[in-house]
Amino acid sequence: MQLSTLEKLNEARTARRAAVVVNDLSSGRAEAFIEGEPFPAEWDAAISETLRSARPALATVNERSLFLNVYLPPPRIVVVGAVHISQALARLAPIAGFDLTIIDPRTAFATVERFQGIELLADWAEDVLPTRPLDRYTALAAVTHDPKIDDYPIRAALDAGCFYVGALGSRKTHAARVERLRAAGVPEEAIGRIRAPIGLNIGAASPAEIAVAVLAEIIGAFRHRDRGEQERVA
């Protein structure tokens, strides 16, 4: 492998961008490809499939033996709102393999006592996100019901292409949210990506059950994220 290939790969990983390295086992050549860039036509299917499945694989393309290795950013969850649901979600998420961060400017809610061992930022999303940007491998769950707190991060998550954007609130609350986003010029297609009411419909009643429903919905969105993209293209 050329040093430049290794450098390109490490740069992508640091920037939380997905990458595939194609090793041509016959020639010993290796090339790094970053998600979102155009891939060479002959390898496009193999690279795309490796990104989708997130599984490194051997492949034979045009009689050449290839090994495709894949490097995905670790998925994470950003929760807006240091509420009861968030306390349960903060304990569940690591079990399922997600890092989790909670943002809430209301210092009465965002206390260390209620969220021991959790990354908790007692600040507005407007102040947090510029230095800690959302990305395609981040799920955003907005659970305060408060437009002043929730609306900005929801828009930021849609802009960043987060694989999941969920918002707590009744259908009525969500209808009002949709009107505000429309008025702010957010495209219909983006608004349609918001999961609301939040969480899989399992009849969740308690905060812990709602957290399970939200986490299950996040896992589903992560595992099916390619399908969503295809639908949007089509």
Partner 1 sequence: MTNEANIRDPLEIAEAWHGQGRAVALATVIETWGSAPRPVGSHLVIDGEGNFEGSVSGGCVEGAVVGEAANVIASGVPRILEFGVADETAWRVGLSCGGRIRVYLERIDG
Give whichever of 12 and 194 is closer to partner 1, judged by the CB atom.
12
Toward partner 1, which CB reaches closer, 19 or 125?
Answer: 19
Show the site string, 67-106: x = touches partner 1 by CB under 8 A, - = not: x-xx---xx--------------------xxxx-------
| Closest to 213 (Cα-Cα) out of 222, 204, 224 | 204
Nearer residue to partner 1 within complex by CB, 7 or 159: 7
Check residue 28 for interaction with partner 1 (CB under 8 A).
yes
Residues 36-55 as x/- pattern, contact with partner 1 by CB under 8 A: -------------------x
144 contributes a contact to partner 1 by CB under 8 A:
no
Cα dist. 21→15, 32, 84, 85, 156 in Å?
Answer: 16, 4, 42, 40, 30
Dihedral sign from CA coordinates of 211, 215, 216, 218: positive
Nearer to partner 1, 4 or 116 (CB): 4
Quote the least distance from Cβ 69 to partner 1, whole Å. Answer: 5
Cα 177 versus chain centre, distance = 21
In the list 16, 48, 49, 56, the residue contacting partner 1 (rule: CB under 8 A) is 56
Instruction: List Cβ neighbours of 158 (8 Å cut-off, separation of 6 or more).
Output: 165, 186, 190, 191, 193, 194
**Residues 149, 128 contacting (CB under 8 angstroms):** no
Q: Please tell me the distance from the alpha carbon of residue 46 to that of residue 71, in angstroms, as a whole number.
A: 15
User: What is the C-alpha to C-alpha distance for residues 223 and 87, in angstroms, rounded to an integer?
Assistant: 24
Q: Give the C-alpha separation, 147 to 173, whole Å.
A: 10
Give the shortest CB-192-to-partner 1 separation in angstroms.
Answer: 27
In the complex with partner 1, the residue whose CB is nearer, 74 or 130, is 74
Whose Cβ is closer to partner 1: residue 68's or residue 211's? 68
> Residue 125 and residue 149: Cα distance in Å, rounded?
7
User: CB 8 → partner 1: shortest distance, Å?
Assistant: 11
DSSP assignment of 184-228 equals TT--HHHHTTEE-S-S-SS---SHHHHHHHHHHHHHHHHHTHHHH
Listed ranges 1-9, 125-133, 158-166, 190-198: which one lies at the site for partner 1 (CB under 8 A): 1-9
Applying CB under 8 A, what is the total number of residues that bind partner 1?
26
Residues that bind partner 1 (CB under 8 A): 1-4, 6-7, 9-10, 13, 23, 25, 28, 30, 55-58, 67, 69-70, 74-75, 96-99
